[in-house]
Amino acid sequence: MKFVIIGAGAVGLLTACLLKKAGNEVQLITRRQEQAELINEQGVLYGETQYMIAATTDWNSIPTEAYTIVAVKYDGLKNVFPRFHHQAIANPIIFLQNGMLHIEAIAKLPQTNIAAGSVEHGVVKLHDNEIRHTGHGVYKFALLKGDESVFKPLLSLPGIRTEWHTDADQLLFRKVLLNTLINPLTALTGLKNGELLTNPYAFGLMKNLYSELSEAFPGMATLLPFEEVKALCESTANNTSSMLADRLAGRAMELDTIILYTLNRAPIELPLLRSFYHLLKSTEV
Is residue 175 among the annotated active site residues?
yes
Residue 73 CB contacts under 8 Å (≥ 6 apart), including other chains: 7, 9, 97, 98, 254
CA 158 to mean position of chain CA atoms: 21
Of 20, 73, 140, 175, the catalytic one is 175
Could you give the residue numbers annotated as active site? 175
